[in-house]
Copies of this chain bind each other. A is one copy, B any other.
Amino acid sequence: MIKILRFSDPGFDAAFAEIVGRGEAAQADVEVAVGNIIADVRERGDQALFDYTAKFDRLQLNAKTMQVSQGEIERALAAVSEESLAALKLAAERIAAYHRKQKTETWLSTDEPDVLLGQMVRPLDRVGIYVPGGKAAYPSSVLMNAVPAKVAGVAEVIMVVPMPGGEVNPHVLAAAHLAGVDKIFKIGGAQAVAALAYGTRSVPRVDKITGPGNIYVATAKQQVFGQVDIDMIAGPSEILVINDGSGDPAHIAADLLSQAEHDELASSVLITTDEAFGLKVAAALEEQLGKLSREAIARQSIDSYGAVIVAENLQEAIAFSNRIAPEHLELAVDNPFEILPLIRHAGAIFMGHHTPEAAGDYLAGPNHTLPTGGTARFFSPLGVDDFVKKSSIVSFSRAGLERLGRQIVHIAELEGLEAHAKSVSIRLEKS
């Protein structure tokens, strides 16, 4: 049964600290193991990839079979129903349309007659996308990573996906094909991250690695950060629903369960100003739980990290939301746009009673790769910005340097950097 909490409960803060802290785990041994795998891939390249894949994925690869062939992609496409392909295509198109709106252009400012300043925006040359393997591989994750990269203009998108025992979800390959992924390698784990970060004979070195993975993958991404860029470090998923007593309790219960079915560490919390509504949601949740195929996972998630919180008013509910900075935030209230300006931190915000989180997970358009565990305080959803980088442009005419040179020299001398000063003054000496 889901917990019913009030802010005034003596145990409230402790109960909440447990939910917020659920992603933290002791990792010293994982860090060492991952460090060794990365070092090994840097040293032995492809051969290390073959060895780890044989060991962890029970799959014998060589330089030829490591990459997914055109034939394998065609067989996957043939195995996908027309209806599924159409749904994935619709999702790819909608995701592309949304992300195209995120694009920013190179600009040049001509405010001053003698100084041009600007910012050049360019796509990354090559990115790597990590896709978890086995049956749980999600085609939607492929789209959410590869489509924004292609919209940004990335020339080469390299995907890695482990194929335990040679098995792969054909929808994953179909999604990769739809998204325009350029190369797919049958590798996973820390070894795949290492290969993308440093390159091997067969796997090209990339500029950035994105995509979800287990603790080994996440740790490897953290360890190669700086050598390449990475996307955010994602922890277990969560949803917070803010409610004002309006709407259908069964709908909210279904939304909470859509989060809880992900895994035992997922967290689903409703905060409502209407205690009676909250109790109805709790009852509906129990009823729906019993019918779920993933009941065991969802029940454990709800028991451990679920809660219905009764707030005095919407202001209190919003303040709580801003404190925990949820990954998914549903504003299940009558007038969600009225309170939107008060929301300071959230990965994605689902407005009103007709926008279940699942809409955003698949094909509304925005990315489903979102900051978790309170990191929406500072991280953003994955997007086009993740696949471009900028260069500043500075262009002084002689007149510009004459106008500003004296102050440049002054600050350089203030900082004791004489050669900096000289590089300006030498240009102004003789005219």
Contacts and interface: CB of A to CB of B under 8 A. Distances in A.
A334 B395 CA distance: 13
Interface of A: 83-84, 86-88, 90-91, 97-98, 101-102, 104, 107, 109, 111, 115-117, 119-120, 122, 124-125, 135-136, 138-140, 171, 207-208, 222, 225-226, 228-229, 232-233, 250-251, 254-255, 257-258, 260-262, 288, 292-294, 298, 336-337, 340, 343-367, 370-371, 375-381, 383, 385, 389-398, 400-401, 404, 407-408, 410-412, 414-424, 426-427
Contacts of A116: 351
A255 to B, nearest CB: 5
B381 A228 contact: no
A143 to B, nearest CB: 9
A93 to B, nearest CB: 11
A102 B87 contact: no
B414 A139 contact: yes
Contacts of A385: 385
Given A417-B258, A426-B251, A393 B349 contact: yes
Given A257-B422, A348-B394, 11 more contacts: A87-B410, A87-B411, A120-B340, A139-B415, A255-B423, A257-B423, A351-B396, A353-B427, A354-B427, A356-B427, A371-B389
B395 A344 contact: no
Given A380-B390, A381-B390, A391-B343, A415 B250 contact: no
A359 B225 contact: no
A360 B124 contact: no
6 contacts: A117-B366, A207-B377, A336-B395, A354-B401, A359-B401, A363-B408
Contacts of A354: 396-398, 400-401, 427
Contacts of A251: 423, 426-427
B87 A407 contact: yes
Nearest to A232: B226
Contacts of A352: 395-396
Contacts of A344: 122, 125
Contact of A394 (B107, B228, B360, B404): B360
Nearest to A362: B411
Given A355-B394, A355-B396, A426-B254, A417 B261 contact: yes
A401 B355 contact: yes
B88 A411 contact: yes
Contacts of A353: 427
Contact of A357 (B350, B415, B423): B423
Nearest to A405: B359
A258 B125 contact: no
A356 to B, nearest CB: 4
A410 B85 CA distance: 10
Contacts of A171: 414
- Most B CB contacts (10 A, CB to CB) among A228, A233, A255 go to A255
A378 B388 CA distance: 7
User: Which 3 A-B pairs have CB atoms at the shortest separation, nearest pair first?
Assistant: A366-B392, A351-B395, A380-B390
A254 B111 CA distance: 29
Given A116-B351, A117-B364, A391 B378 contact: no
Nearest to A262: B417
Given A117-B365, A401-B355, A138 B415 contact: yes
A352 B370 CA distance: 42
Contacts of A336: 395
- Most B CB contacts (10 A, CB to CB) among A226, A228, A293, A370 go to A226
Contact of A258 (B88, B356, B419): B419
A131 to B, nearest CB: 13
B225 A225 contact: yes
